[in-house]
């Protein structure tokens, strides 16, 4: 995890208006909006690297409700499209959604097929290393 965080920090692209990192209180508010607990590793991810801008993929954020990556909006859209309600989206990619389950495993939901694929990652950090950093 620390290695992935370090790599993301090094690759973070400068932007005109940098994102802010949330605090625990904000994450509790987000959980109340979503009516679901955020898996532990997703909480860590949001607290430590949700301000990173890198590559083509744009993982969810929680500090700016006006952002196109705002988790409650992304989740509402994903769930409306058929993503199972027990999954929390971490990134939308051309109609597909990378989601994390309550045990912390990341799965890919295909928008074209409207179902889960066989693609899986052991954690949000494995997904960040294998998918986000490779995008």
pLDDT in tens, 54-70: 999 999 999 999 999 99
**Rounded Cα distance, 66 and 63, in Å:** 9
Q: How many CB atoms lie within 10 A of CB 73?
A: 15
pLDDT in tens, 61-105: 999 999 999 999 999 999 999 999 999 999 999 999 999 999 999
Nearest to 50 by CA among 65, 58, 25: 58
- CA dihedral (33, 38, 42, 46) in degrees, to 10, reads 30
Could you tell me the domains of the chain?
2-132 (3.40.1580.10)
User: pTM for the whole thing?
Assistant: 0.96
Q: Give the pLDDT score at 135.
A: 87
pLDDT at 34 over 90: yes
- 3-state class percentages of the chain: helix first, strand second, coil last, to nearest 5: 40, 20, 45
């Amino acid at each position: 995890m620390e290695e992935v965080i370090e790599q993301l920090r090094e690759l973070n692209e400068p932007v005109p208006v940098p994102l802010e990192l949330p605090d625990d209180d904000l994450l509790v508010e987000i959980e109340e909006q979503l009516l679901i607990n955020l898996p532990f590793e997703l909480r860590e991810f949001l607290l430590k690297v949700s301000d990173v801008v890198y590559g083509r993929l744009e993982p969810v954020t929680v500090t700016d409700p006006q952002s196109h990556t705002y988790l409650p909006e992304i989740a509402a859209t994903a769930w409306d499209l058929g993503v199972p309600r027990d999954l929390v989206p971490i990134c939308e990619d051309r109609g597909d959604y990378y989601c994390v389950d309550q045990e912390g495993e990341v799965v890919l939901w295909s928008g074209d097929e409207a179902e889960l694929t066989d693609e899986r990652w052991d954690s949000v950090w494995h997904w960040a290393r294998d998918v986000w950093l490779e995008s």
